[in-house]
A and B are shown apart, each in its own frame.
Chain A
Amino acid sequence: GAVVSQHPSRVICKSGTSVKIECRSLDFQATTMFWYRQFPKQSLMLMATSNEGSKATYEQGVEKDKFLINHASLTLSTLTVTSAHPEDSSFYICSASTSGGLYNEQFFGPGTRLTVL
């Protein structure tokens, strides 16, 4: 149980284009989903927290107009990197947390490797 999928696992795009990454909770309802960015050999950087049906809460320094997050259902959240540039190249990871309390662990997707040429 508690499986989270991400699609695509790897994407290469040209500078200036937009890329959408999907995050799905396959066997549970995710009240809250998180989007992270991970640089090589570095820790996770939380980008935003999204609760189903409401606007995402972005961390300081993360451009909300560039990283569009939609959490339209309890099993799906999407991250769209708009007008991508080479500096956006990174490993993007989503996680999901079930409802029922503040102590539940997050379940992570396998990540999406974005390369912007």
Chain B
Amino acid sequence: AQSVAQPEDQVNVAEGNPLTVKCTYSVSGNPYLFWYVQYPNRGLQFLLKYITGDNLVKGSYGFEAEFNKSQTSFHLKKPSALVSDSALYFCAVRDLQAGNNRKLIWGLGTSLAVNP
């Protein structure tokens, strides 16, 4: 079965420190992976995606993610965290068994708290 796992419900990091939000996936075939962020009382915003090519993908707000096929992971990273990065982060993978309807399979989300 296809799935996405975000093993950490909550991540706490001090401002200025590097942050990592973990994501692992399970799909049958080549994965198409996405990261979204949800700020308090706001809609989800697209951060970045991996389709093919370089394993290191750069996205919005200084975030990047590394695709690791052998570990089936797509961890989100940022070299220096800001307090304003505090939000809920979702990892998602394209449902390859859903035909042509562009459906995503979502992780449960990771709440990131950046402490000043």
Residues of chain A whose beta carbon lies under 8 Å from any beta carbon of chain B: 4, 6, 32, 34, 41-44, 46, 49, 51, 57, 93, 95, 97, 102-111
Task: Provide the residues of chain A in CB contact with B36, threshold 8 Å.
Answer: 108
Given contacts A32-B101, A103-B32, contact A44 B43 (CB under 8 A): no
Shortest beta-carbon distance, A11 to chain B, in Å? 16
Interface range on chain B (Cβ under 8 Å from partner):
20 to 34
Contact among B45, B49, B100, B107 with A108 in the assembled complex (CB-CB below 8 Å):
B45
Please state if B102 and A104 are interface contacts (CB–CB under 8 Å): yes
Complex contact B43–A49 (CB within 8 A): no
* Given known A44-B106, A102-B94, A103-B32, contact A95–B44 (CB-CB < 8 A): yes
B90 and A32 form a contact (CB under 8 A): no
Taking a contact as CB atoms under 8 Å apart, the answer to whether B109 and A42 are in contact is: yes
Which of B45, B46, B94, B101 is the one whose CB lies under 8 Å from A49? B101
Q: How far is the CA of A43 from the CA of B90 in the complex (A)?
A: 8
CA gap between A46 and B44 in the complex, in Å = 14
